[in-house]
Structure formats: structure tokens, C-alpha cells
Chains A and B, each alone.
Chain A
Amino acid sequence: MLARQYDFVVRRVGRLARSIAFLPLLLLSGCSVHHLSRQFLLFRPAGPLSGADLRFTLLDVAVMLGIIVPTAAVTTFFLLRYRKTNTNAAYDPTWSHSNLIELVVWAIPLLTVAMLGYYAYRGTYAVDPFHPRLLKGTRAAPVAARPPLRVDVITTDWQWLFIYPKQRIATANELVIPRGTTVDFHMTSATVVNDFFIPNLAGMIDIMPGMRTDQVLVADKLGTYKGYSANFSGGGFSWMGFKTHVVSPRRFRSWAQSVQHAPLHMDYAQFNAFAKPTKNIHGKTYEFSDVKGRLFDQVIEGVLKGKVYTTQLPPPGSA
């Protein structure tokens, strides 16, 4: 048995050596500033919500750096200036109190927190996943008078199901949304807690079994963005991603019509088959037509009544 494992390791080491040959290339490509900057998904918002997240991040960092940099500088200066070997520096072996300094050192953080606290309040309401104030204007007077699109999201172990109830279609591990339209996500999980996260478009929000959480977002820029679960949910978690295609409203309509002819269908029984624990290592996607309207509610009701999609016991020390 050990011999077999030995052979196995030798073979794999060969494969590793071959793949390491590409390593300098990858590092080079990583060094290309343009290429690398595109990888900072949080700095490249494609919608108002993620844009607001970024603005608040920059604001927070700016304010904090305004305090931390001087503090670090002063501390370093004190440490060097008043080192024991510097005999020119003053030495005051009993000085340990000053009302003025105490007042200042309490006032500085207090004022900072007061200011950041105000922005925290503004920001929390602005990007609240259920009713973002940021999108209120667009809701009252919708962009191009388009009604919002509803998408029901169900996570399983370890796949994504996106249901478009009005279009009676669904996709798995792939999300298509029209640009400039408010997309209203209703989310639940069939099994354990996941997080809905599309770095370029929207921050994280938990998806929990037996409960519904929401996320509302608008995408401004066409393109394909990575989405994934951000909350650990078991063995297939690392492969639990989905591509988000932001397309023009016209293309969205034609895409939805084409999916309405997809050969696969989806009702609760088919969902239960789909929800068997699956590691989506190869990134497979599916399209479903004739999706039952109540599926989302049925999944929640099923979970509340005790439906579980049991994980099988793996042998110790292995998969």
C-alpha cells in the first residue's frame, strides 16, 4: 500500500514540477500593473451599491490614517529621541500626568468616533440589503420606467439555483441580469448558511435555511462578474461559485425566451434531486424551463418542517 502511495507521489511530483515551470510566467503576469489592478474586484465597482461600499471604505481609511500616521510618527520619534544612549534628550523620571494631554488624548479618538459613527449610520441605511436608501430614488422613479426584476436564490450543498419567477425559468450556477434594472433578490438556503457575494456588484448577505433574506442591486456596467458563497458551508464550498452576466435589457429578454424552451424543468421533486450534496468542481451550469411558481416557498416550508439534505459520514483522514 505504501509502495502504491509512493509511486503516486512520484507521479504527482512530476506534474507539480511541470506546473511550476509556469510559475515565473504567472508571477510576471501578476506583476503587470494593469492586469493586477483589474484583480482588485472591490476597487472596481460596477453598480451603485458596491460603489458606495468603496466610497465609505476610502472615507474611513482617510480619516483613520489622519490619526494613525501622526501617532505612529510621534511614537517612533519619542522612542528614538528619548533612547537611553541619547544623553542630550531631557529625562524626567517622575513625570506621569498632565491634565491637558489627558484631555487631548481622550478628545481625539472621541471626535473621530463621533464623525465615523455618523458616517456609519448614513452608510448602513444607504446600502441596507433589504431597502437600500441609495436606490430609493431609482425605485420611486425607476430607471427607464423598467419594473424591478425579481430573482429567487436557493443555495444547496453546494450549488446555486436562480429562479426568475415571472419568466418561469431558472438557472443553476449562473446568473444573468439586465443592466440598469433594479434586481430584487429573495434568498434562502436548503441546507446550511451561505453568503451571497458579487464583489463588483454587492456586498455579502447571509443566506439561511428556513428564512428569507434580501439583496437589492443595480448593475451599471455590462460584463461578466464573479459571484460566490462567502460563508463556509462544507466540503464543496471552494467550488461554490457562479458567473454573473450583466447584459442589455434587450438581450436579457431574448435570453429569457430561449431558456423558456430549455429541456430541463424544475419542481419541488426535481429540486430535491438537484439538492443532493454535489461538489461542482467542473463549474457546470444548467438552465430550467417551466419552473413551478411556489418552489421558493416550498423549499422554505420543507426546511421548516424538518427537511434536511444529510451529509454522508466521510472516513476519518480522507474525503
Chain B
Amino acid sequence: MVNVQGPWSPILGRLSLGAIPDNPIIAGAFIFSVVLGIVVLGYLTYADRWGYLWREWLTTVDHKKIGVMYIIIGLVMLFRGFVDALMMRTQQVLADGPHSPGFLGAAHGYLVPYHFDQVYSAHGTIMILFAATPILVGLMNVVVPLQIGARDMAFPYLNALGLWLTAVGAALIMLSLFLGDFSHAGWVGLTPLTELAYSPGVGTDYWMWAIQISSVGTTLGAANLIATIVKMRAPGMTWGRLPIFTWTALSTNIIALTSFPVLGVALGLLGLDRYFGTHFFTAGFGGNLMLYSDLFWMWGHPEVYFVILPAFGMMSEIIPTFSEKPLFGYVTMVAASFAIAGVSWSVWLHHFFTMGASPRVNTFFSVATMVVGIPTGVKVFNWAFTVYRGRSRFETPMLWAVGALFMLLVGGLTGMMLAMPPVNYSVHNSVFVVAHFHTMLMVVVYGILGAVTYWFPKVFGFRLNESLGKRFFWFFTAGTIMVFIPMYTSGFMGMTRRLDYLANPALLPFEVAEELGIGLYLVSIYYFVRQLYVSLRDRNANRVSADAWGSARTLEWVAPSPVPFYNFAVTPRVHARDELVWRREQGLEGAVPAHFEDIPMPRNTAVPLVIGALALGLGFGLVWRMWWLTDLSFVAIILTVIARSFVRDTDYVVKAAEVERIEKRLRQGAAEAARNGASASGIDVLRPRESSP
């Protein structure tokens, strides 16, 4: 064990009253969280929903509900990440030039450098790992089993465990707001800045353990999704008929399964440096700080494709549906996805072209990076030819998909610039790069928002409000343009990243424009929340039948909306790539099975939740160096896993008669919805299930 700065006690570790930040902004955030917490807990108690919450959500192993919870965590963290962005933009617009004013003890602006640095580090970490990743994993969770005709994931229990480990990571980051601080070294955490000598606080430990714990969850989830896609496909669902989103889910999870362990190793070695005083990444004593950059980006770059490939998959589902035409070049699209996944392994060095590698090495990685542009370019052309001779309808999901396509064009242009070392040298650590990767991540965000709108009725049985959704889209797009075009521009003025204070007053007009853009984003969030509220209020008027959009194509739209907990009453037989289109042509749409059979389903279990709670104890203990808590939690996790392995009774059977009854009710609901736009069903139709201890 190494000695750390500041006091330490055996019971509380490094924790003391001094760990509570003395800052009015954080105090405000704390009051906001407490009030929100009291409202939520009060509602649950008042409405007597605790039992429902426990049975239906906290202990569930249903892939759809787990997916929904992943997405909720992601959306909450997306909002937190947005607030961080708002704070950063406000700081930069205030702290511009030597005559800019200072507030709250800052020389310029209202955030002292150490606080500002934590804000941008939290923004990056949250947006990549706790917003984009969970929402994508959630969408894959919801959609993939439905698209391949499975009843659940291959390992439902493991699926729940992945969710709760991700939640623990998010919880640790939120905790760091009110107890101690967060890492100031950026989401990448380059060494030796993250070593104990230069980051003596608990912030880096929060960052490290939050990522480490949640990435275990993501790795388990990846193994689960691969197993599901390979082994759980319905009869007739050959590889050649696999929906394109499932293909991208497969390629992306192969990336996750192979790359997340590298991140685990990188952070693990950094942890050894910080806790045991080893010298893997220190500058002295034989450490190699460049090794960290390599290891981090060996995960980090594949991670970029881990988030973008599912977004490509979503676009490839949405565009054909709203063009009323099959996807152009299915085989090439699959090949392109796997080509991108494959090349993603050989481009990591372009994140540090400036680290002084020889021109031979830099040239190799430069060309490898450009090669990614080939399959990506093919995808864009194929989407364009999907629209060609179609009948495009611009409903909200289509708007998002088309928006993503145009973001990809801009991101592709700037990406090809950055791939070239002589260009890269001049903008490597500038806001030009920041604007570039935000444009690329906007492809993901647009894809996600399109996909959420697109598949929402499948899970909940009603559509989201169209006009508010469109308003959300246009304000969001205006915000994107307003923020990122000035950011690209200021990159050419030589403005670098992560500046708490801008020495050049000429940047002010651009900063003001970006601040206005953030305001547009704020308006768009208002419309998003309003869209959710109005849609929920008017849900009975917006009920849909199995095919929510009238022109959907793939297998998931054969199942009723909302999908019952067992997905398909009878395991479907697949006849074509676009199964629903095939059934429509054969006049089989809405056909009812002749007879029903017993369905074996996994039981609910509280074990993943318990392991999650213990992992939170483990993470918290490690951050504050409370060894008793760490040891206790660790031993308890192992014992829980062993105890669970003795539980044999993990499944139960839904009787055929019961299935028939539910299906009948769903059909009645759909018929009523079609007749007078009213029905009592919703996600609550997923009846309570027996729990196992």
C-alpha cells in the first residue's frame, strides 16, 4: 500500500467531513438531487408502488425491461453530461481574454481550473461510457431477441447482472459529485497525470473504478448478446436472413468482447500504480507512460466503432421502413459492418500521431484509418440507393436517420482530414478534433433518438407524439449546427482543447455562438420531455397494432405491440429476410396460431441486484481506501455467486392456456385500438411473475 496525501483512518479511510465540497454550484445540484429523490421515493410510497417496482423492474430478467432500464440510466446520464457541457460552454464564454471577470474565486469565469477540469472529464466519461454505451446496449437488448425470434437472451441472469454493474458505475460517478471530487485528467486519463503524484485526490479513483466496474458489465453483456445471436435464432432465421441491426449488434459485440478486457488491464495496471506503488505507467523507475496510451486506445478506438456500428444498424432499419423498400445491398452492408469492425483493431495509434512514432508507423496507421472510410462510404451510398425509387415518408425516426446520414458526411470529411498526419499535427489537440468526434457521436445520438422513437411502440404499445418529436429534432439540429460549426472554425484559429481560460479575445464571437447553440439544445430537451409527457398522457389515443408504422419489414413487428413477456406465443418460423413483408404478401399478417404450447421462462431473481449493491460497496471502499468495506464486499460477492450457482430452480413454465388467454386479450386490445383508439393494455400487461430467492 502506498501512502496518500491527507488523513486516513481505518474505519473511514480517506473519508472525512472535509470531503463534502464547499461550492454553491455543487450545493445547488445536491439540493436538486435530494428534492428529486424525495419526490420519487414519496410517490413510490404514496402510490404503494414498491412491490410493483421490486417484482416488475428491480428483480426482472426480461430482456425488454432490462433494455428499458439501460436506456433510462443512459438518458439520465445524458442529461447530466449535458449539464456538464452547459457549464463548460458558459465558463469559456465568460473567461475570454485578460479582462474577463471572475466569480466564485476563479480568476476568470466562474469555475476554477481544478473544477473545470473535473467537469470536462466527467462530461467525456459520462457521455461515452454511461450515456451512449448503456443506451445502445439497452436498444440491442430490447431489439435483438425480438428480431431473431427468441424468448429472451441466452443468459437472462447474466443480462441483469450487466445492467446492475453499469448502474453501479453511474452511481459512483454521481456520488463523486457530492463526496470528494472527480478525475481532472480527462476521460482518457493519460499517464503520468493520473498517477498519484499528479492526481493525489480520490477523483481519479472514482473515474477508474466507475469505468472498471461498468466495463465488466458491458463485457458480460457482449458475451451474452453474441451467444444469443449465434444460438437462439428461430427456425428459418439463417445468417442470410438476419436483420441488419442484429448483424451490426453481432459485429459490435465481438468488438466489445475483445476490447473491453484491454481497458480492464490498462486501468488495472494504473490501479496497481495508485494503490500498491508499482511503476507500470510512471515516468521514472522503469515505467512506460506511452504503454498506457497504447492500451487505452487499443480499447478506445474499437469502442468508437462499438458505439457507431449499432447506430449504422438502426439507420439501416429505419431508412428502408420509411422508404417502403428493402435495404439496398444487404450483403455489402453486412460485409461493410464486419470490415469496419475488423479494421477498428488496427487504427488506434491515430489518437497519438504526435507522440513521436517514426513516419513509417504513422503512415501505416494513417492509411489504415483511411481504409475505414471505404466501407463507411459504401454504407452511405447504399442508404442513398435505398431511398432511390422508394416512397420516403418523413416521420420522426426517418428525420433522425437522415440527420445521422448528413452528420456522417461531415464527420467523414473531417475524419479523413485528421487521418492524414501532416493535417493532424496542426489540429491534433485542438477544438477541431473535439468538433469532429462530436459530429461522429452525433451520428450515434441521432441514430439512438431515431431508434428510440422507432421501437418505442413495440415495447410500450403506443407511439410518441409526432409534432413534438419533430420540434425536438429541429431544435436539436439547430443546436448542433450552432455549437459545432463555430467549434470547427475556432480550431483553425489554433484554439486547443480543455482550456479553462481563453487567452485570445477574438474567440469570443465563436464562444457566444456556441453558448446560443447550447440554449437551442436546452429548448430541444424541453420538447423531448414534453413529448414523453404528452405521449404518456394521450397513450390511449396512440395505440398501435403489431406493425406500428404500417410499413415495417422485420420479424420483431410480427409480435404484438406491446410485446408480452414471452415475446412470441409460438416460436416463429422465418421464411424471408424481411419476414413481415413476406407474411404481408402471403396474406399471413396478423395470423393467429392454431394451438398454443407451454412456454418455459426464466424466473425473476434478486441476485444481480444484490451483487450490484455489493459492487457499489467494493467501488466505494476502493475509492476511499476503506479496506474493511472492500474486503467485506469482495468476499460477499464471491459467496453470492457461489450460492447462486446452487440454485437449480431458475425456470418456470407458462401454461398453454395462460398463453392463449394473454394472446386473446392482446388481440382484443389491438382490435379495440384499431376501432376506437382506446385500450387498457400497456407495458403492465406483462403480468407479475413468480420470484425465486
Asked if B46 CB lies within 8 Å of chain A CBs, one says no
Residues of A within 8 A of B193 (CB): 192-193, 232-234
Asked if B387 CB lies within 8 Å of chain A CBs, one says yes
Within B97-113, the residues touching A (CB, 8 Å) are 97, 99-105, 107, 112-113
Q: What's the Cα separation between A5 and B22 when bound, in Å?
A: 12
Residues of B within 8 A of A310 (CB): 197-198, 200
Asked if A191 CB lies within 8 Å of chain B CBs, one says yes
Residues of B within 8 A of A68 (CB): 409-410, 412-413
Knowing A96-B329, A209-B289, the reply to whether A313 touches B370 (Cβ < 8 A) is no
Task: Check if B425 sits within 8 Å of A205, measured CB to CB.
Answer: yes
Task: Check if B509 sits within 8 Å of A96, measured CB to CB.
Answer: no
Task: Check if A41 sits within 8 Å of B493, measured CB to CB.
Answer: yes
Among candidates B113, B115, B198, B507, residue contacting A317 with C-beta atoms closer than 8 Å:
B115
Within A176-207, the residues touching B (CB, 8 Å) are 189, 191-193, 195, 197, 199, 202-206
Q: What's the Cα separation between A64 and B420 when bound, in Å?
A: 12
Residues of B within 8 A of A64 (CB): 412-413, 416-417
Task: Check if A316 sits within 8 Å of B19, measured CB to CB.
Answer: yes
Render B168-204 as a binary contact track against A, CB cut-off 8 A, 1 for contact: 0000000000001100111000101100011111000
Within B292-327, the residues touching A (CB, 8 Å) are 323-327
Knowing A83-B394, A101-B385, the reply to whether A315 touches B359 (Cβ < 8 A) is no
Task: Check if B114 sits within 8 Å of A235, measured CB to CB.
Answer: yes
Task: Check if B426 sits within 8 Å of A117, measured CB to CB.
Answer: no
Task: Check if A193 sits within 8 Å of B289, measured CB to CB.
Answer: yes
Asked if A287 CB lies within 8 Å of chain B CBs, one says no
Asked if A307 CB lies within 8 Å of chain B CBs, one says yes
Residues of B within 8 A of A56 (CB): 420, 422-423
Render B421-438 as a binary contact track against A, CB cut-off 8 A, 1 for contact: 111111111100000000
Residue of A nearest to B361 (CB): A124
Task: Check if B382 sits within 8 Å of A105, measured CB to CB.
Answer: yes
Asked if A127 CB lies within 8 Å of chain B CBs, one says yes
| Between-chain CB contacts (< 8 Å), 11 pairs | A5-B24, A57-B423, A60-B417, A68-B413, A78-B392, A97-B328, A105-B385, A116-B419, A116-B420, A210-B284, A237-B499
Task: Check if A116 sits within 8 Å of B416, measured CB to CB.
Answer: yes
Residues of B within 8 A of A29 (CB): 506
Task: Check if B284 sits within 8 Å of A316, measured CB to CB.
Answer: no
Knowing A112-B373, A123-B421, A306-B284, the reply to whether A230 touches B430 (Cβ < 8 A) is yes
Residues of B within 8 A of A36 (CB): 506
Residues of B within 8 A of A125 (CB): 359, 363
Task: Check if B20 sits within 8 Å of A316, measured CB to CB.
Answer: yes
Top 8 nearest A-B pairs (CB, nearest first) are A317-B21, A203-B425, A109-B377, A123-B422, A199-B494, A209-B283, A317-B23, A105-B381
Q: What's the Cα separation between A281 and B422 when bound, in Å?
A: 32
Task: Check if B181 sits within 8 Å of A42, measured CB to CB.
Answer: no
Segment of A85-93, A141-149, A164-172, A246-254 engaged in the interface with chain B: A85-93
Knowing A41-B494, A206-B355, the reply to whether A120 touches B377 (Cβ < 8 A) is no
Task: Check if A117 sits within 8 Å of B366, measured CB to CB.
Answer: yes
Task: Check if B101 sits within 8 Å of A19, measured CB to CB.
Answer: yes
Asked if B390 CB lies within 8 Å of chain A CBs, one says yes
Q: What's the Cα separation between A204 and B353 when bound, in Å?
A: 9
Segment of A9-17, A266-274, A290-298 engaged in the interface with chain B: A9-17
Interface centre among B190, B192, B285 (most CB of A within 10 A): B192
Other than the given A108-B381, A209-B284, 4 more pairs (CB < 8 A) read A60-B420, A71-B380, A120-B421, A130-B356
Residues of A within 8 A of B387 (CB): 75, 78-79, 82
Residues of A within 8 A of B52 (CB): none
Asked if A256 CB lies within 8 Å of chain B CBs, one says no
Asked if B467 CB lies within 8 Å of chain A CBs, one says no
Residues of A within 8 A of B184 (CB): 234-235
Knowing A192-B192, A238-B501, the reply to whether A208 touches B185 (Cβ < 8 A) is no
Task: Check if A124 sits within 8 Å of B391, measured CB to CB.
Answer: no
Please give the distance in Å from B402's CB to the nearest CB on chain A. 7
Task: Check if B426 sits within 8 Å of A50, measured CB to CB.
Answer: yes
Q: What count of chain B residues pass the 8 Å CB interface test?
A: 124
Among candidates A16, A72, A84, residue contacting B393 with C-beta atoms closer than 8 Å:
A84
Task: Check if B323 sits within 8 Å of A82, measured CB to CB.
Answer: yes
Within A288-314, the residues touching B (CB, 8 Å) are 303-314
Asked if B549 CB lies within 8 Å of chain A CBs, one says no
Residues of B within 8 A of A30 (CB): 506, 508-509
Residues of B within 8 A of A202 (CB): 425
Task: Check if B413 sits within 8 Å of A119, measured CB to CB.
Answer: no
Task: Check if B508 sits within 8 Å of A27, measured CB to CB.
Answer: yes
Asked if A35 CB lies within 8 Å of chain B CBs, one says yes
Task: Check if B284 sits within 8 Å of A195, measured CB to CB.
Answer: no
Render B501-515 as a binary contact track against A, CB cut-off 8 A, 1 for contact: 111111111001000
Residues of A within 8 A of B112 (CB): 318-319
Q: What's the Cα separation between A57 and B492 when bound, in Å?
A: 11
Asked if B650 CB lies within 8 Å of chain A CBs, one says no
Residues of A within 8 A of B201 (CB): 313-314, 316
Please give the distance in Å from B166's CB to the nearest CB on chain A. 26
Residues of B within 8 A of A305 (CB): 284-285
Please give the distance in Å from A152's CB to the nearest CB on chain B. 16
Q: What's the Cα separation between A235 and B424 when bound, in Å?
A: 26
Residues of A within 8 A of B356 (CB): 129-130, 205-206, 208, 211, 213-214
Asked if A52 CB lies within 8 Å of chain B CBs, one says yes
Asked if A226 CB lies within 8 Å of chain B CBs, one says yes
Render A59-76 as a binary contact track against B, CB cut-off 8 A, 1 for contact: 011001101100110110
Asked if A40 CB lies within 8 Å of chain B CBs, one says yes
Asked if B593 CB lies within 8 Å of chain A CBs, one says no
Q: What's the Cα separation between A19 and B97 when bound, in Å?
A: 11
Residues of B within 8 A of A93 (CB): 324-325, 390
Residues of A within 8 A of B416 (CB): 60, 64, 116
Among candidates A61, A124, A128, A237, residue contacting B498 with C-beta atoms closer than 8 Å:
A237
Asked if B367 CB lies within 8 Å of chain A CBs, one says yes
Residue of B nearest to A1 (CB): B22
Within A13-40, the residues touching B (CB, 8 Å) are 15-16, 19, 22-23, 26-27, 29-31, 35-36, 39-40
Please give the distance in Å from B409's CB to the nearest CB on chain A. 5
Q: What's the Cα separation between A128 and B419 when bound, in Å?
A: 15
Task: Check if B509 sits within 8 Å of A27, measured CB to CB.
Answer: yes
Residue of A nearest to B512 (CB): A27
Q: What's the Cα separation between A37 and B394 when bound, in Å?
A: 40
Residues of B within 8 A of A236 (CB): 113
Residue of A nearest to B410 (CB): A68
Render B272-289 as a binary contact track against A, CB cut-off 8 A, 1 for contact: 000000000011110001
Interface centre among B193, B390, B422 (most CB of A within 10 A): B422
Render A217-244 as a binary contact track against B, CB cut-off 8 A, 1 for contact: 0000000001011111111111101000
Knowing A84-B391, A204-B429, A239-B501, the reply to whether A53 touches B373 (Cβ < 8 A) is no
Render B364-377 as a binary contact track against A, CB cut-off 8 A, 1 for contact: 00110011011011
Task: Check if B359 sits within 8 Å of A124, measured CB to CB.
Answer: yes
Task: Check if B428 sits within 8 Å of A19, measured CB to CB.
Answer: no
Residue of B nearest to A63 (CB): B416
Residues of B within 8 A of A97 (CB): 328-330
Residue of A nearest to B327 (CB): A96
Within B1-48, the residues touching A (CB, 8 Å) are 5-6, 18-24, 26
Asked if B389 CB lies within 8 Å of chain A CBs, one says yes
Knowing A19-B99, A129-B356, A306-B284, the reply to whether A319 touches B105 (Cβ < 8 A) is yes
Knowing A26-B508, A75-B405, A109-B377, the reply to whether A311 touches B493 (Cβ < 8 A) is no
Residues of A within 8 A of B428 (CB): 195, 203-204, 230
Residues of A within 8 A of B640 (CB): none
Q: What's the Cα separation between A68 and B380 when bound, in Å?
A: 10
Residue of B nearest to A158 (CB): B113
Knowing A96-B326, A281-B107, the reply to whether A204 touches B354 (Cβ < 8 A) is yes
Among candidates B21, B113, B384, B499, residue contacting A78 with C-beta atoms closer than 8 Å:
B384
Knowing A120-B370, A210-B283, the reply to whether A65 touches B420 (Cβ < 8 A) is no
Among candidates B26, B391, B425, residue contacting A204 with C-beta atoms closer than 8 Å:
B425
